[in-house]
Amino acid sequence: MRLVYVMDPMCSWCYAFEPELEEFLAKHTSAVVEFVMGGLAPDSDEPMDENLKQTISSYWYEIQNKTQVTFNHDYWKLNTPYRSTYPACRAVIAAESLKTDSAHKMIKEIQSAYYMEAKNPSLKETLVSCASSIGLDEKKFLKVFESEETEKRLQEHFNKRRALEVRAFPTLFYIDDKNNAYPLTRGYTTVTKLEQQLKSYTH
């Protein structure tokens, strides 16, 4: 079974979806997943303004109340947040190009650093540390992370997102034998609903 998962490592709803996705993949061990970086927010070294900080931090409480994940709310006290998720997207692409099947590990490592350890994933040093945590060589990672090739791949990911007409994360597609894409979800959902959607396409 082929799946395409369009997401952003710094999307809080994608973090909330992770346990549901893991449970779904545990039931479908032969599934091959292509991780497509959606890119929530472009590169920026402008600190987030107070209004945006308030908005995003309030989402965390809302998501926590609706799902089974928890957040380390100290993040907002300990960091200078930036509205910049492209570096985290590049980090996933760089990890995968250095070692096959590293994309999902890197996504989970970035989510853990951000949402549980209150580290800033807009910063290069956080991403290098995440790469090291999944067993990648820091110098090699940094070289690939900053390369033109990775930037080119990021743009290819964005083109794929546009071709699939994805406007919300997380979005998960089931790809049939004829290469048709069927959405299992557009936005957060539960494993039960994913199973129901999959059945509707495969029976």
Instruction: Kindly list the structural domains of the chain, giving each domain's residue range(s) and its CATH number in brackets, ordered by start.
Output: 2-202 (3.40.30.10)
Average pLDDT over residues 58-75: 97
For residue 175, how many other CB atoms are within 10 A of its CB? 15
Summarize the confidence of residues 80-90 as an average pLDDT: 97
The pLDDT of residue 162 is above 90: yes
Q: Please count the other Cβ atoms lying within 10 Å of the Cβ belonging to residue 167.
A: 12
The Cα–Cα gap between 168 and 28 comes to: 24
Helices (H), ranges, 40-147: 50-66, 75-78, 86-98, 103-111, 124-133, 138-145
pLDDT over 90 at 203, yes or no: no
Return the pLDDT at 139: 98
- The tokens describing 93, both together, are 């692409």
- Mean per-residue pLDDT over the chain, rounded: 97
Around Cβ 104, how many Cβ atoms within 10 Å?
Answer: 19
Query: Strand 181-186 relative to strand 2-7: parallel, antiparallel, unpaired?
Result: unpaired
The pLDDT confidence band at residue 49, using thresholds 50, 70 and 90, is very high
Answer for the pair 1, 174: CB distance below 8 angstroms, yes or no: yes
Q: Which amino acid is at 39?
A: G
- Does the pTM surpass 0.95? The reply is yes
Does residue 18 surpass a pLDDT of 90?
A: yes
Mean pLDDT computed over 142-149: 98
pLDDT category of residue 61 using cuts at 50, 70 and 90: very high
